[in-house]
């Protein structure tokens, strides 16, 4: 599965970002091969509509799962329409790698 | 002649100055002289508390939002690309609209290559018009609570266009320097830049002055001194050669009058003399 994780920086062990639409970076990770790539969130600095822009990015990248600490109402609507599953990570010091591990163990909660 | 009273920060005295100005003008000019007042601060209109108009007409304020005909839409994504506010998303070959993010600019409709987008009215507020007992033609816009602001198509606009034939119109602007302020200042011949004289207000004061200058208009200063004696706006006005015409001091009487819903002209009768004679 292709995961999109909101992160504060551009490395796989960067701390995750609790916000989906406003996170600076996204880590796109293949949960089977563990290949990954970092992308700037195209919507993070928008005055409005950041959630929609981020969800559009997720849809364009054809990800299966979006993982963040929180999803705003507009992002949720768009992600749901795109059939992208929303999964939450608990707050507190996790990095991208931790979140991938938790996902692979099935230890994360559905939005 | 349209005179907008604008400021960067809120709470600097825009409504206090605007209502005092319009009342002074209504008294100074003969009764057949057409004087208008527009409360453009649609998020929190409050000039009625001082002018006590009777409203005679009201109508909904609308913006036009896109409606996508999915049977015509090819999913090309042009509309998503041109929208500056991310009010549209393309999911697969479907386009979804987020009405609360839409500013009603029409770019998506104009740019759709297959004319799959039509526009429908989305009510965002109320326009009201009436008169005060002193004959001032009063109008205001009120944005519905929960509707986001930032609309170039501010609910007061339509009223604005209709009211501008009045010989003098005072516009009570929203605070800040964003879309609704730019729209209020459009076509104004000059405005007193209300602002506390501190650096927080200065930034927006400069922005508004640039907005006016771009339209070939001019501004004049009015201000309330900062408690800290900061002269930032004074210095700015001097440097830009903006003539100041009045300043009002910290005065408990002003606060008391405002709390009673009295205009400045009532509890500070001498203030009318501060209105420049060349008005």
DSSP letters of B94-124?
A: EEEE-GGG-----HHHHH-TT--EEEEEEEE
Measure in Å the smallest separation between the Cα of A93 and chain B Cα atoms. Answer: 31
For residues B14-35, average pLDDT: 86
* Contact call for residues A84 and A59 (beta carbons, < 8 A): yes
Give me Rg for the CA atoms of chain A.
12
Q: Work out the mean pLDDT of chain B and round it to a whole number.
A: 79
Q: Rounded distance, CA B118 to CA B110, Å?
A: 10
Alpha helices per DSSP H over chain B: 14-28, 48-51, 78-82, 107-111, 156-163, 179-185, 199-214, 232-239, 252-259, 264-267
For chain A, give the number of residues.
Answer: 111
Q: Rounded distance, CA A106 to CA A100, Å?
A: 10
Among A4-13, A27-36, B196-205, the minimum mean pLDDT is found in B196-205
Measure in Å the smallest separation between the Cα of A82 and chain B Cα atoms. Answer: 5
Among A73-82, B201-210, B240-249, the minimum mean pLDDT is found in B240-249
Among B89, B94, B148, select the one facing A56 at the smallest CB separation: B89
Amino acid A93: pLDDT: 87
For residues B20-26, average pLDDT: 88
Amino acid B19: pLDDT: 92
Given a cut of 60, whether residue B163 has pLDDT beyond it is no
Given a cut of 80, whether residue B76 has pLDDT beyond it is yes
Mutate to test the interface with B, among A47, A56, A60 (most CBs of B within 10 A): A56
Given a cut of 90, whether residue B24 has pLDDT beyond it is no
Shortest CA distance from B97: residue in chain A? A78
Shortest CA distance from A45: residue in chain B? B85
Q: Do B98 and A50 touch (CB under 8 A)?
A: no
Amino acid B189: pLDDT: 65
Q: List CB contacts (< 8 A) between A46 and chain B.
A: 86
Task: Residue B70: name the closest of B110, B119, B116 by CA.
Answer: B116
Given a cut of 90, whether residue B267 has pLDDT beyond it is no
* Phi, psi angle pair for B71, to nearest 5°: -75, -25
Instruction: For residue B38, give every residue at least 6 positions away whose Cβ sits within 8 Å of its Cβ, in sequence order, or none.
Output: B138, B139, B140, B156, B159, B160, B163, B169, B170, B171, B172
Q: Rounded distance, CA B195 to CA B210, Å?
A: 16
Reported as a pLDDT band with limits 50, 70 and 90, residue B150 is: very low
Bridging pattern class, strands B2-5 and B137-143: unpaired
pTM: 0.73
Q: Rounded distance, CA B69 to CA B19, Å?
A: 48
Amino acid B188: pLDDT: 73
Percent of residues, chain B, with pLDDT higher than 70: 72
């Amino acid at each position: 599965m292709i995961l999109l994780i909101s992160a504060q920086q551009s490395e796989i062990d960067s701390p995750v970002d609790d916000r989906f639409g406003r996170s600076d970076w996204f880590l796109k990770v293949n949960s089977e091969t563990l290949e990954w790539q970092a992308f700037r969130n195209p919507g993070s600095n928008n005055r409005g509509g950041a959630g929609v822009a981020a969800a559009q990015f997720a849809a364009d990248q054809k990800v299966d799962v979006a993982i963040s600490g929180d999803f705003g109402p507009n992002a949720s609507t768009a992600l749901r329409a795109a059939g992208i599953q929303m999964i939450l990570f608990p707050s507190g010091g996790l990095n991208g790698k931790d979140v991938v591990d938790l996902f692979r163990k099935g230890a994360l909660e559905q939005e | 002649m349209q005179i907008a009273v604008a400021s960067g920060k809120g709470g600097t005295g825009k409504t206090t100055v605007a209502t005092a100005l319009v009342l002074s003008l209504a008294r100074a000019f003969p009764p057949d002289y057409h004087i208008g007042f527009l409360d453009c601060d649609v998020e929190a209109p409050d000039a009625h508390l001082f002018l006590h108009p009777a409203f005679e007409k009201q109508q909904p304020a609308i913006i036009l939002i896109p409606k996508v005909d999915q049977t015509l839409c090819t999913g090309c994504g042009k509309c998503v690309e041109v929208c500056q506010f991310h009010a549209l998303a393309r999911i697969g070959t479907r386009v979804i609209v987020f009405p609360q993010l839409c500013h009603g600019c029409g770019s998506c409709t104009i740019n759709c290559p297959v004319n799959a987008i039509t526009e429908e009215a989305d009510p965002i507020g109320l326009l009201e018009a009436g008169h005060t007992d002193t004959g001032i033609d009063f109008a205001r816009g009120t944005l519905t609570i929960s509707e986001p602001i930032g609309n170039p198509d501010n609910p007061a606009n339509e009223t604005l266009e209709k009211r501008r034939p009045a010989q003098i119109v005072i516009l009570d602007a929203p605070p800040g320097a964003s879309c609704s302020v730019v729209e209020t200042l459009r076509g104004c011949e000059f405005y007193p830049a209300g602002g506390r004289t501190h650096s927080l207000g200065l930034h927006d004061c400069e922005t508004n002055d640039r907005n006016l200058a771009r339209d070939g208009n001019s501004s004049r200063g009015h201000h309330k001194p900062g408690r800290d004696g900061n002269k930032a706006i004074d210095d700015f006005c001097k440097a830009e050669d903006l003539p100041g015409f009045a300043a009002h001091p910290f005065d408990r009487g002003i606060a008391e009058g405002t709390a009673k819903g009295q205009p400045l002209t009532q509890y500070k009768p001498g203030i009318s003399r501060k209105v420049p004679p060349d008005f």
